[in-house]
Structure 1
């Protein structure tokens, strides 16, 4: 049970890191786009040139926040889709292996199969080192 929780904790931490990194990249990209558009509008549109600096900064910050949110959300959704595919493939393999043994692939049996598989992989890694 603690192995499952530690695996979940690692996955949550990895997802958080991915989301944070993508959010920062999106924010930087959004800031660049917002600043560039504000500069273009400032030099080409007299109405925009008359606007105050706080208003222009507000527009750039909206662009920054928009980039942060979209970047982080896109990265998280991609990560979740990849994890879902990996988990489905592993569960499919477990059900197939359990069926060959004559067992029904219940949640408990799949958890036992996963623990056996992890132990075998660790033993194999210990042998090679």
Structure 2
């Protein structure tokens, strides 16, 4: 798989994770917002006199907050996981290249990754 295709696949995966988390966050915080607004409606006479569009605005605020927070958290978590995996792979490459007596430059690490990927493909049964 080329570097561009791998990057595209990672972007698609990140987008899918972010969209799922955003949907979940929006749903959860919409329910929380509806609960809070319902409680305020029945417990506070001043809030009961507020218009329905204002209450809908408050509910949409809860929804948008949940959507943004959950989507951002999911993306940050995914990026951290990818960064840790990449660092572990680069560390392995540096150690292997040093054992071979090569200086672990970016070019050598890229070549090592390509060799490793080819070896893993060769090991897999067709």
Calculate the TM-score normalised by the size of structure 1.
Answer: 0.95
Distance 2:18 2:74 in 1: 6
Distance 2:16 2:62 in 1: 22
Instruction: Name 2:74's counterpart in structure 1.
Output: 75
* Residue 26 of structure 1: how far off its partner (Å): 0.3
4+ residue segments displaced more than 3 Å: none
RMSD between aligned alpha carbons? Answer: 0.9
Q: Deviations over 1:12-56 (max 9, x none)?
A: 111111101000000001100000000000000000000000000
Structure 1, unpaired ranges of 5+: none
Calculate the TM-score normalised by the size of structure 2.
Answer: 0.97
* Residue 5 of structure 1: how far off its partner (Å): 1.0
* Residue 6 of structure 1: how far off its partner (Å): 1.0
Q: Deviations over 1:88-123 (max 9, x none)?
A: 000000000000011111111111100000001011
Structure 2, unpaired ranges of 5+: none
Task: For 1:1-129, list aligned pairs within 5 A.
Answer: 3-126=2-125, 129=126
Equivalenced residue count is: 126
